[in-house]
Each structure stands twice: as C-alpha cells, then as structure tokens.
Amino acid sequence: MLSLRAAVQRERHHVETLKQQQKHHEENKRLQFVQWHSRMVGELAENPEALSEVYSEYDLPDKATALRQNRWLCMWSAMHRLGYIDENHLRENAKRFMQDEAGRLYWGIGGDHRERTAQDDHDRRFTRIMNEAYTAVLVGAGAKAS
C-alpha cells in the first residue's frame, strides 16, 4: 500500500503532467492558427481585390507591404512563444522593424489593435516590446529634429 507521501507525490506528478499536456495542447492550437493565418495571408497577397477589402478601414498606401509587415509580426510572435527566439532576439527584430518606415507605419496604424486583442501575457509582452521599439524610434527621430 502506498504511503501518504508517495500518494501525494504521485498526484503532484499527475497534476504536473496534465499541466504540461494542456500547455502543449495550447501551443499546438496557436501553431495551427499561425499556419492557417499564414496560408490566408498568402492567398490575400495573390488577390489584390481581397487584400483591399481586408485593409479597407486603414489608410495604407501599399496594402501588400502592410500584409508583409503583418506576416513578420505574426511569425516573430509565434517563434517567441514557442522558444525559437528569446526576448533579446525579439527586441532586436522589433528595433529593426521599427527602423523601417513601412514597419513604423504599420505599427502606428495597427499596434493598438494588437494591444486590444491580446489573448494572454505572451501577447501583451510581445506588444509591449514592439511598442517600446516604436516609441524609441519616434523619440530618437524627435531628438534629431530638435
């Protein structure tokens, strides 16, 4: 017969296993969504009329470029979530992204949407890192203009 200590340890292990399975399931769901999103974006890129409909509410001079910016952000978010890039690498990507005029334009228009639709701590952290890079570039540009 199991001792109380052994039974508690077994239950703890069972709970930890369930937590890991749940985390793995959530990561798989997110990865499937990223794959679906990437396919959809690829199809939009091939259909300029549909692309214009998707971004109709935004004043974007080049909707195809905006779509590419969206794709990069989604990929980096997924890569960071799944551990393929760490936070420092993400910050470097964000900095380079915001140094590009198209990246700043896209984030300036769509960054608040990402903030409003953040699903979890990861999404909020990703958005914060992107916002910090965006603000740093704007502040740097303001200092140069002075």
SS3 sequence, the chain? CCCHHHHHHHHHHHHHHHHHHHHHHHHHHHHHHHHHHHHHHHHHHCCHHHHHHHCCCCCCCCHHHHHHHHHHHHHHHHHHHCCCCCHHHHHHHHHHHHHCHHHHHHHHHHHHHHHHCCCCHHHHHHHHHHHHHHHHHHHHHHHHHC
* Residue 49 predicted with pLDDT over 80: no
Query: What's the mean pLDDT in 64-68?
Result: 82
* Residue 47 predicted with pLDDT over 80: no
pLDDT band, residue 59 (cuts 50/70/90): low
pTM: 0.70
Comparison of pLDDT for 50 and 91, the residue scoring more: 91
* Residue 54 predicted with pLDDT over 70: no
Give the pLDDT confidence of 94-144 residue by residue, as tens digits. 999 999 999 999 999 889 999 999 999 999 999 999 999 999 999 987 666
